[in-house]
Amino acid sequence: MPPSPDPPVSGAWRAGVDPVGDRRFARLPGPLHLERGGVVAQVGVAYETWGRLDAAAGNAVLVLHALTGDSHAAGPAGPGHPGPGWWDGLIGPGRALDTERLFVVAPNVLGGCQGTTGPASRAPDGRPFGSRWPEVTIGDQVDVEAALADALGIRRWSAVVGGSMGGMRALEWAVRHPGRVDRVVVLACGAVATAEQIGLYAVQLQAITDDPGWRGGDYHQLDGPPQLPGPQLGLGLARRMAQVSYRSEAELEARFAARVQPDGAFEVVSYLDHHADRLVRRFDAGSYVTLTRAMMTQDVGRGRGGYAAALRACPVPFTIAGVDSDRLYPIRLQQELADLTGVPLRRIHSHRGHDGFLLEVDQVAAILRDVLPSP
């Protein structure tokens, strides 16, 4: 079943066109030199904050989003934000990330599409980067986050917290900038991409890049009505594949089984169609490709003698948590991280698979309350 009528060519946020919402913006100084050899002449970062930075700049917590997340980690839906914050139950007065005593920062990642420079952004010549956007790594994303911290006057984070792709960046923060992090909390990821993850991601990317609307990545149009279709169908197909991997087999069976709707469609297929349509309307195919490739090349041990050596040598205190029904990033990967860093594994009990790190708010809150500094 195709998406609803008239999905946008790209769901990327557009400066001067779309509402700013709760976003703030930082323009980072100088060009960004990337690990794989590319250069981005100038990088802008969209971010959101909650709470107030104390006089010593010692109460800051960095919260890092997953693949299709953004800076809107907390707060209601509204102009500029099609949905409520993806960790809204964790951030706020009296919550696990207590904004009465903590200064919480959530940036949109490099290569994203919700205000931070990425494939849909204007290049220095005024045209969208499109196919000219370079390959970025998890390390490049962390370099941008470190530059944002400098711009905000934060020399050291009280904690860096993230799940899935955000967890990858939290790991990278620990080994890349150990002097700037008091603690990292890593949920639902591993130290290096596995063969199965790479294979699943490669098929999703092919769905996008084989879409005739992809046009080599040059489908964006920043001004005026769209003249040609974009890769909406390919992006929707990629999301359908991903959504199956985000949930557990047991949950899908319990919710849908082989039941058929009155229109003849399988209930589970309509569920996947719904998630595909939602993503196409709020995300950009180029960002999906860029960020997925970054996850495919993730390796916290690259250039550090391998991930085991890098993690064993890292002096930063770790908290590692996994979802017991996660089949995309199975809990054995978090057990390995816990073993290498010498900490107990925290288990999130859930029937909802990988998405449990987003949905089991009470359990994640208990982990955060246990490990973050008390007032």
* 234, 240, 245, 248: CA torsion to nearest 10: 180
Residues in the chain: 375
Q: Is the dihedral of CA 298, 209, 126, 122 positive or negative?
A: negative
Helix, strand, coil % in the chain, rounded to nearest 5: 35, 15, 45
Show the CA angle centred on residue 290, arms to residues 288 and 292, nearest 5°.
Answer: 65
Question: Can you tell me whether residue 322 is helix, strand or coil?
Answer: strand
Collect all residues with Cβ–Cβ distance below 8 Å to 191 and sequence separation of at least 6: 171, 299, 300, 301, 307, 308, 311, 333, 336, 337, 340
Contact call for residues 112 and 287 (beta carbons, < 8 A): yes
Exposure string of 327-364, with b = 16+ CB inside 10 Å and e = fewer, is: bbbbbebbebbbebbeeebbebebbbbbbbbbbbeebb
Contact call for residues 235 and 280 (beta carbons, < 8 A): yes
What does the block give as tokens for 87? 């960790």
Instruction: Give the count of beta carbons closer than 10 Å to the beta carbon of residue 85.
Output: 24
One-letter amino acid of 235: L
Task: Count H helices and E strands in the chain, helices first.
Answer: 11, 12
Tokens 């690259």 sit on residue: 302
Q: 103-107 and 97-98: which strand pairing?
A: unpaired
Let me know if 45 is exposed, middle or buried by CB neighbors in 10 A (0-12, 13-18, 19+).
Answer: buried
Task: Tell me the β-bridge partners of 25.
Answer: 46
Active site residues: 164, 326, 354
- Give CA 205 to chain center in angstroms: 17
